[in-house]
Structure 1
Amino acid sequence: MEAPKRATKFAANEMWGRFYRKLFGVEKINQSLSILTGASAGATESFIVVPFELVKIRLQDKKSAHLYLGTMDCLKKVIKQEGVLALYNGLEATMMRHITWNAGYFGVIFQVKSRLPTKPELLNSFIAGTIGGCVGTALNTPFDVVKSRIQNSPRTTSPSKYNWSIPSLFIVAREEGFWALYKGFVPKVLRLGPGGGILLVVYTALMEFFGKYKLSYAPAETPSIEANTFEEID
Structure 2
Amino acid sequence: MGERDWRPFIYGGLASIVAEFGTFPIDTTKTRLQIQGQKVDPRHVELRYSGMVDCFVKTSQQEGVKALYCGIWPAVLRQATYGTIKFGTYYSLKKALASRRADGGAREHVASNTACAALAGGLSSAIANPTDVLKVRMQVGDEKRNIVRCFISIYEAEGVRGLWRGVGPTSQRAAVIAAVELPVYDACKKRLAVTMGDTPVNHFVSSLVASLGSAVASTPLDVIRTRLMNQRKLKGHIARPGEIIYKGTTDCFLQTVRNEGFPALYKGFVPTWLRMGPWNIIFFVTYEQLKQLY
Shorter-chain TM-score above 0.5? yes
Tell me if 1:184 matches 2:268.
yes
Q: Which residue of 2 aligns with 1:227?
A: none
Distance 1:112 1:22, change over 3 A: closer
Tell me if 1:149 matches 2:227.
yes
Separation (CA, whole Å) in 2 of partners of 1:207 and 1:58: 35
What is the TM-score normalised by the length of structure 1? 0.78
- Aligned alpha-carbon RMSD (Å): 2.3
Deviation at 1:20, TM superposition (A): 4.3
Number of residue pairs matched by the alignment? 207
Higher relative contact order (CA 8 A, sep 6+): 2
- Aligned ranges for residues 62-81 of structure 1 at < 5 Å? 62=141, 65=142, 69-81=145-157
Distance 1:86 1:19, change over 3 A: farther
User: Which of residues 155, 158, 180 in structure 2 aligns to 1:82?
Assistant: 158
1:5-38 residue CA offsets vs partner (Å, 9 max, x unmatched): 3222210112332454478777324111221111
For the 8 Å contact 1:20–1:37, the answer to whether it is kept is no
Separation (CA, whole Å) in 2 of partners of 1:33 and 1:164: 31
Tell me if 1:94 matches 2:170.
yes
Q: Which residue of 1 aligns with 2:206?
A: 128
Separation (CA, whole Å) in 1 of partners of 2:222 and 2:183: 20
Tell me if 1:27 matches 2:111.
no
Separation (CA, whole Å) in 2 of partners of 1:189 and 1:88: 26
Q: Which residue of 2 aligns with 1:45?
A: 124
**Runs (5+) with no aligned partner, structure 1:** 211-234
Deviation at 1:3, TM superposition (A): 3.4
Deviation at 1:176, TM superposition (A): 0.6
Other structure's SS at 1:193 match: helix
**Runs (5+) with no aligned partner, structure 2:** 1-77
Q: Single out whichever of 139-148 and 119-128 deviates more from structure 2.
A: 119-128
What is the TM-score normalised by the length of structure 2? 0.64
Tell me if 1:9 matches 2:86.
yes
For 1:12, give the aligned amino acid.
T
Distance 1:99 1:23, change over 3 A: farther
Deviation at 1:191, TM superposition (A): 1.3
